Structure 1
Amino acid sequence: MTDSSVMPLHMRRVEFDPAPELAAAREEEGVKRVPSVYGGGAEAWLVTRYADVREVLGDAERFKIAPQTIARLPGAPELTKEQLAKINAGNLIGVDPPEHTRLRRMLTPEFTIRRMRRLEPRIKRIIDDHLDAIEAAGSPADLVPTFALPIPSLVICELLGVPYEDREGFQHRSSRMLDMSVPAEERVGLQFQARAYMEDLVQRIQADPGEDLLGMLVREHGDDLTTDELIGIGSLLLFAGHETTSNMLSLGTLALLRHPEQLELLKKEPERIDGTVEELLRWLSIVNSGTTKVATTDVELGGKKIAAGDLVICALPAANRDPGLMPDADKFDLERGAPGHVAFGHGVHHCLGAPLARMELKIAFPALFQRFPGLRLTENAPQFRSSSIVYGLSSLEVAW
């Protein structure tokens, strides 16, 4: 496991918690100068308090997405303007309004709560099938490869129209791309591999669009979206749709097992599942920061003067544990329902797939604990992904 202290400050954790030095930055300064993740001696402002994070994320005029991408990391090869434009085309988290507004408007109808409810029976079947397989294989089991990873992957594959048999390839690529300990040159290469895969898939869908999301985009918006934009949309949704929910499933299961009194309350009062999921989202905050921003004008934030052109990073785990958000914010308490957390971001870039993620979590956790009421951890300690941009587990062995 990578030493957390070598990670950028906003990514440092001690198991479930933001590292003490990250919590201290929130308590002492709120807005703090830190080395930029893009290296080269540059610095960025790290924003750690809830109110300040909401202000940054909620203002797409004063805080725009920084033009840097994974391709600009130290050690990465120089890319041409054309290559960078290809990488960013259709990437909702890489563009601001009005471009972001145009793309999101086409996608939003597919991610409404009403549309997600249509998927509910299929998601239940997928979860039950995987629980059947775990039960048949017998105790013990590693829940990461048998439960947490395959379920969101299958759901997003079916939603997008991606062949599920390709999952090992895209899971490997995305895991390596998110790993800060992997050399930047390799991560950039993987990014282009991922695009090449999606380019081939999009061309097939353009020739014969089905009833899935990418097919719908080709049929209904084919004249409004370039092929590069379709590739970017597909790549982002595939990447985000399995990495995030997968890590929430594994880390959330561990959190519940480590808080037996909370788990017992959920079992006795299953109607608390909505509040439980919100509290898990807040307390775990698996996405460390979202996109890096750049100030477009001189701004005062948290008592610090941020100059136009300065980079700004929002520490979501620190913000969601801010005593200014709620009392005793470091405690996991499913009874409070975690109102107002920023685990899905905030503002125009609030996570498009939030309704789908919530639905998968609300179905999966109760189903797991109903099937295996005696579920418990084994002596093999869970393995945390401490160097990953999306926090989670690489292993979670359980018995029953």
Structure 2
Amino acid sequence: MTSTLGIPEFPMTRAAGCPFDPPPAARALQEEAPLKRVKLWDGSTPWLVTRYAEQRALLADPRISADISRPGYPSPAPLPKGGSSGISFILMDNPEHARLRRMVTAPFTIRRTEKMRPAVQKIVDDRIDALLAGPNPADLVEAFALPVPSLVICELLGVPYADHDFFQENSKVIIRRDAKPEERAAGHQALIGYLDDLMGKKLAEPADDLLSGLATRVNDGELTRVEAAQMGVLLLIAGHETTANMIALGTLALLEHPDQLKLLRESDDPALVKSAVEELLRYLNITHNGRRRLALEDIEIAGETVRAGEGLIMANDIANRDPDVFPEGDRLDLTRDAHRHIAFGFGVHQCLGQPLARLELQVVYSTLYRRIPTLALATEVGKVPFKHDGSVYGVYELPVTW
């Protein structure tokens, strides 16, 4: 057995007082080499891919697998009994990945999502109205950051927003890194049962929503009902958790960088808003535990040989700070051309919902701070509870005042 002595553990810890920056130990590995061994919870030692160029190359390489059920896959936590995560096509390989993904691609095209802008604007304005009418101080997460994307994805999918407490609580369990396998499995089963029940209703009475579209495919024999429910779970979780955390964490980052907040608040240039969204996505990296893959063949890269069956972790948080691609990457600069970031991944598995996430963030970042110009943190940043324990990074609460 190969010794793991001296191999650093992953994931790594962020520095105290630096909640927006990647862990210093990960940055140190990036300076040493493009690929370094790290040790996971189960004692395995996959490769940590530290730099931007190598991550892009590998994420586009058909010789790597996203299939979590393969032996050697660098899973971030113990799998439920049976060895499957239940998270539909994002943890599958082609051709099955492509077959299932194609069935839900159309609603997330740039053209289709752009048509949702007026509806998203109304949701944002309504939630700001409710925030201003409520208590002051308030928790921006509960009052605004979580409801906005939840309302949007519920409308798109055809899920009753009245059930948001149920699906949000189960989502939190699923993405919590320290959740026990049986807890995670129970959360999955609860959501799959819920989506399966909804699918039954859509089969009986189709509407103009994404779940009804999946129900049609079930009727046509293209999908099983279980596959459709699993896809619904994936889209529901991904559709609200990541964007909610990006809204709250992005707001906190801007409050801590008042010069950048002033620039955004006082400009009516849509190009600056779009630039701000891309820079905040690059700078913050909500998906902070790396994208996990497995080598299917021996791969020569950056002077190393990644052997077939070895795990790979693409640490996008440090790749998006790679000085060869983003000079002064530790500085938040809303005027930076950050469009090459890999916050949404790269290659065939890049985030399906990125056009919708961008749209929501553009509407939020161009509206919230202009409508509430006196928005301020109602506590010390050191007292804000950050989500260090999950696969999605953000804050549990964000007390604000105005």
Tell whether the structures are fold-level matches, with TM greater than 0.5: yes
Contact 2:29–2:50 under 8 Å retained in 1: yes
Contact 1:93–1:291 under 8 Å retained in 2: no
Aligned to 1:32: 36
Q: In structure 2, do the counterparts of structure 1 residues 77 and 177 end up closer, same or farther at CA, with 3 Å as the change threshold?
A: closer
1:349-388 aligned within 5 A: 349-380=349-380, 381-388=383-390
Q: In structure 2, do the counterparts of structure 1 residues 189 and 8 end up closer, same or farther at CA, with 3 Å as the change threshold?
A: farther
- For residues 128-152 of structure 1, the C-alpha deviation after alignment (integer angstroms, 9 at most, x for no partner) is 1111111111421110000100110
Aligned to 1:398: 400
In structure 1, which of residues 249, 267, 278 is the aligned counterpart of residue 265 of structure 2? 267
Aligned to 2:232: 234
1:1-400 aligned within 5 A: 8-9=10-11, 12=14, 14-37=18-41, 39=42, 41-59=43-61, 61-68=62-69, 78-79=81-82, 84=84, 87=86, 91-219=88-216, 222-223=219-220, 224-271=222-269, 272-289=272-289, 291-380=291-380, 381-400=383-402
* Amino acid aligned to 1:167: H
Contact 2:40–2:76 under 8 Å retained in 1: no
Q: TM-score normalized by structure 1? A: 0.91
CA distance in 1, matches of 2:395, 2:305: 38
CA distance in 2, matches of 1:353, 1:280: 17
CA deviation after TM superposition for structure 1 residue 396, in Å: 0.7
SS of the aligned residue for 2:86 comes to: helix
Q: In structure 2, do the counterparts of structure 1 residues 62 and 75 end up closer, same or farther at CA, with 3 Å as the change threshold?
A: closer
* Amino acid aligned to 1:228: V
CA distance in 2, matches of 1:238, 1:21: 34
Q: In structure 2, do the counterparts of structure 1 residues 270 and 24 end up closer, same or farther at CA, with 3 Å as the change threshold?
A: farther
- For residues 43-82 of structure 1, the C-alpha deviation after alignment (integer angstroms, 9 at most, x for no partner) is 21111100111111111x2111143499x776655327xx
CA distance in 2, matches of 1:43, 1:345: 22
Identity %: 44
SS of the aligned residue for 1:125 comes to: helix
SS of the aligned residue for 1:331 comes to: coil
CA distance in 1, matches of 2:348, 2:210: 21
Stretch moving more, 137-146 or 282-291 = 282-291
CA deviation after TM superposition for structure 1 residue 202, in Å: 1.3
CA distance in 2, matches of 1:212, 1:10: 41
Number of positions where the alignment pairs a residue of Structure 1 with one of Structure 2: 386
Q: In structure 2, do the counterparts of structure 1 residues 125 and 74 end up closer, same or farther at CA, with 3 Å as the change threshold?
A: closer
Contact 1:73–1:184 under 8 Å retained in 2: no
Aligned to 1:3: none
Contact 1:152–1:241 under 8 Å retained in 2: yes
CA deviation after TM superposition for structure 1 residue 257, in Å: 0.7
Backbone CA RMSD of aligned residues: 2.2
Contact 2:290–2:317 under 8 Å retained in 1: no
Q: TM-score normalized by structure 2? A: 0.91
CA deviation after TM superposition for structure 1 residue 290, in Å: 5.4
CA distance in 1, matches of 2:394, 2:348: 26
CA distance in 2, matches of 1:243, 1:161: 17
CA distance in 2, matches of 1:200, 1:220: 16
Contact 2:64–2:295 under 8 Å retained in 1: yes
CA distance in 1, matches of 2:81, 2:148: 37
* Amino acid aligned to 2:185: V
CA deviation after TM superposition for structure 1 residue 106, in Å: 2.1
Q: In structure 2, do the counterparts of structure 1 residues 43 and 186 end up closer, same or farther at CA, with 3 Å as the change threshold?
A: same
SS of the aligned residue for 1:157 comes to: helix
In structure 1, stretches of 5+ residues that fail to align are 1-5
